Amino acid sequence: MVTELTSAIVKEYGLNAGANVVGIATSKDFSLAPDGYKPTDVLPECLSVIVLGATFWVYRLINR
């Protein structure tokens, strides 16, 4: 049985992995990026980009 990979599944997975925010963008959203920085420059068949964001507390890193 094959499970369809939905945006909800991807976002839940990212949040469960420790990300504070998860977003999904189409590769076309990067059309204004400089050459070499577009997802399709690395993977020509790329359709979507998954973006994860996490908070890093500087205080914790400095005062260990």
Mean pLDDT of 17-34: 96
Residue 24 within a domain: yes
The predicted-structure confidence for 26-51, as pLDDT tens digits, reads as follows 999 999 999 999 999 999 999 999 99
Angle among Cα 15, 22, 57 to the nearest 5 degrees reads 70
Residue 1 within a domain: no
Residue 32 within a domain: yes
Count of the separate structural domains present in the chain? 1
d(CA 24, CA 32): 17
Q: Which of 15, 46, 20 is nearest to 33 (CA)?
A: 46
Q: What is the mean pLDDT of the chain?
A: 91
Residue 34 within a domain: yes
Residue 41 within a domain: yes
Residues 41-44: contacts with CB under 8 Å, at least 24 apart: none
Residue 44 within a domain: yes
Q: What pLDDT score was predicted for residue 3?
A: 86
| CB atoms near residue 38 (< 10 Å) | 19
Domain containing 49: what range? 7-62
Residue 50 within a domain: yes
Residue 2 within a domain: no
